[in-house]
Structure 1
Amino acid sequence: MSEIVSPGTEATRRRLTEKQADTVDRLTAAAVEVLSREGYSGTTVRLVAAAAGVGTATAYTYFSSKEHLIAEVYWRRLVVAPLPDMEGLDQVARVGAVLRQVSMLIADEPALAGAVSNALLGDDPDVKHLRVRIGAEIRGRLSRALGSEETETLSILELLYAGALLHGGMGHISYSEVADLLEACVRRLLG
């Protein structure tokens, strides 16, 4: 029997064997390749499946939509990104470092960054599920950086982050500017 892959990186819809996990890995890698070539509007699950060397029907067994596939790419990048080194930093610097890291996670891939903004706004139930997982991961990182579970401050930071990334995803400001503005907001809020 095939070994089951860790739930931290498993696909949203079901538990995966090693072979299935390899297929999902190929699909998520192909999604980035197709997005960079075709842009968000030109990307389809059919094109991604072809680039990954799998059938379209197979791709749809793992991903309910293009938005689900793109959200999964972001989720996987986030969950494997280690926390920034926060040793010796004060609370403001720790929170700023976390926000900078998650803001810059896909900054070097403009097609993916814009696609993630579109995808995460979708109403696909699998995307909604990933939004919750992504939000919980970011909230956990912020909570560790704050050194507390202070709900109001965490909510403010989450709102700042979501709004800033939306601006970056729409192309109003660069992701580097997003990270700089978030750090300035953290200094104002916590400093």
Structure 2
Amino acid sequence: MSELASTGIEATRRRLTGKQADTVDRLTAAAVDVLSREGYSGTTIRLVAAAAGVGTATAYTYFSSKEHLISEVFWRRLIAAPHLEAPDADPATRVVAVLRQISLLVADEPALASAVSAALLGDDPDVQHLRVRIGIEIHNRLAAALGSRDPKRLSMLELLYAGALLQGGMGLLSYQEVADLLEISARQLLADPGNGS
């Protein structure tokens, strides 16, 4: 079993046995490989299943669409990323660290990065479910980093993150530029006392 499966990460459609978790791990790893070769438009569940050494029908028992599979890859990377601990740092520094970590999760893999943006915008119910889980995880990490009950600033930080990542996914900015722009924006937002609740 992979490190991800052993930490309790499950596919979104069902609870998994050890063997099933291994199959899902193989499918998510194969998805990254296929995306790097074929790009988003050329990636199919059939190609990913073949690369993972499983049947197409088996792959569809875990993932309803390629968008679901790609969203699952991002979800697994996000949930596996360690929570940043910096209790002595100021809130702006903690928030910037969280935003950088999340925005750079797929920065070194351009095909995956653009595929994640496209996949997360899909209307597949399984993607919608993952989108909610991803949003909650990012919300919780930003709230912990902010360290205060400041819903207005927290909402603004979430909007900054979503907009910046969309720009990265569309290829308008590199993911390093996204991280840098998020840092500048977050520091300005958190330094401005007029934006508090």
- Taking structure 2 as the reference length, the TM-score comes to 0.92
Q: Distance in 2 between matches of 1:136 and 1:6?
A: 22
Determine the structure 1 residue equivalent to 2:81.
Answer: 81
Residue identity matched to 2:181? L
Give the aligned CA root-mean-square deviation in angstroms. Answer: 1.3
Determine the structure 2 residue equivalent to 1:163.
Answer: 163
Determine the structure 2 residue equivalent to 1:103.
Answer: 103
Deviations 1:67-108 (A, max 9, x none): 000000000000010023424211111000100000001100
- Deviation of the 1:154 alpha carbon: 1.2
Residue identity matched to 1:133? R
- Deviation of the 1:6 alpha carbon: 7.1
Determine the structure 2 residue equivalent to 1:90.
Answer: 90
Go from structure 1 to structure 2 and tell me whether the alpha carbon gap of 1:34 and 1:84 turns closer, same or farther (over 3 Å shift): same
Deviations 1:1-22 (A, max 9, x none): xxxx679510000000000000
Determine the structure 1 residue equivalent to 2:195.
Answer: none
Deviations 1:100-137 (A, max 9, x none): 00000110000000000000000000000000000000
Q: Distance in 2 between matches of 1:135 and 1:121?
A: 13
Residue identity matched to 1:65? S
Q: Distance in 1 between matches of 2:176 and 2:52?
A: 31
- Deviation of the 1:169 alpha carbon: 0.6
Q: Distance in 2 between matches of 1:107 and 1:15?
A: 30
Gaps of 5+ in 2: 192-197
Gaps of 5+ in 1: none
Contact 1:96 1:186 in 2 (8 A): yes
Contact 1:49 1:55 in 2 (8 A): yes
- Deviation above 3 Å: which 4+ runs of structure 1? 5-8
Q: Distance in 2 between matches of 1:138 and 1:8?
A: 19
